[in-house]
Amino acid sequence: MTLFETDLPTMATSIGRSTADDIWVQGYNLADELMGEVDFGSVFYLLITGRLPSAGEARIFNAVLVALADHGLTPTALAARLTYTGAPDSIQGAVAAGVLGAGSVFLGVFEDAGRVLTAAAPDAATSDEELDRLAAGIVENHRSRGARIPGLGHPFHKNGDPRTARLLAMARELDVLGPHTRLMLRVQAQATSPSGKPLPLNAGGACGALLCDLGIDTAVLRGVAVVSRAAGVVGHLAEEARAPMGRTLWYLAEREASYEPRR
């Protein structure tokens, strides 16, 4: 019996399919029910969760995508621009270079914060007292290991991330501030830096908590951040095409970096 003659498990997908006349996405007719009727963020949410978001959920999800789209000449943007400098005929490679650095320092905070919060397993019935106890446990666990709590602190917004304030205000207004975000706020209230100073809740932490409350699986939280940042990367590449700085960055590194042989 060959490999192809063995019994294989049944495969199924609910994401999408095409016929001669129609295209279906999660049970919706793409041309008739989604195009021109639903914004991109809501379709993205549909693809991830299998359902369209409510009006409040859609506003928060779209706000999360906007919050992380871009914030300057970050390493992701520089990686994309420098890759484009060497391969302007391959913009997809430059976009990929810009998002491949999603990790514990950049963009991965979504997932890291979400995993910490979901491990505590808060739900709508969790009392404020229990949330305080869970938050204390999270803070003590990280403190005892000398580990940073994902989602807290920011290199620039020392007095509070403006994106966080806006997202939380929207969540309260739309009544979608759920147990994960409530827990994240209690963690932030109890945590301090090694010097004893309060740590602000950054946009990554707020977004991770809010997305958990929206029912997004932690396995794809970083993917949401990557899709958001990809839009900003394409914006940087559009600018790079008309006003290049890649070669200047290259020459700057050549000029400023000294050669120091190890032997």
| pLDDT > 70 fraction of the chain, expressed in percent and rounded | 95
Average pLDDT over residues 14-40: 96
pLDDT of residue 107: 79
**CA 118, 141, 154: angle at the middle one, nearest 5?**
75
Counting other chains too, the contacts that 212-216 makes at CB distance below 8 Å and 24 or more residues apart are 212/114, 212/117, 212/118, 212/178, 212/180, 212/181, 213/171, 213/176, 213/177, 213/178, 213/179, 213/180, 213/181, 214/45, 214/49, 214/53, 214/57, 214/60, 214/61, 214/176, 215/49, 216/48, 216/49, 216/114
Residue 84 has pLDDT above 80, yes or no: yes
pLDDT of residue 217: 96
pLDDT-wise least confident of 6-10, 18-22, 56-60, 122-126: 6-10
Domain ranges of the chain: 53-263
Contact in structure between 114 and 211 (CB atoms under 8 Å): yes
pLDDT of residue 158: 59
Residue 160 has pLDDT above 80, yes or no: no
Question: With bands split at pLDDT 50, 70 and 90, how would you rate the model's confidence at 154?
Answer: low
Average pLDDT over residues 165-171: 96
122 compared with 3, residue with greater pLDDT: 122
pLDDT of residue 105: 75
Residue 5 has pLDDT above 70, yes or no: no
Residue 197 has pLDDT above 90, yes or no: no
pLDDT of residue 16: 93
The mean pLDDT value of the chain amounts to 92
Question: With bands split at pLDDT 50, 70 and 90, how would you rate the model's confidence at 4?
Answer: low
pLDDT of residue 110: 85
Residue 156 has pLDDT above 90, yes or no: no
pLDDT of residue 48: 97
Distance CA 137, CA 208 (A): 19
Exposed, middle or buried, 64 (CB in 10 Å: 0-12/13-18/19+)?
buried
Topology of domain 53-263, CATH: Cytochrome p450-Terp; domain 2 (1.10.230)
pLDDT of residue 1: 55
Average pLDDT over residues 219-247: 96
Average pLDDT over residues 88-98: 96
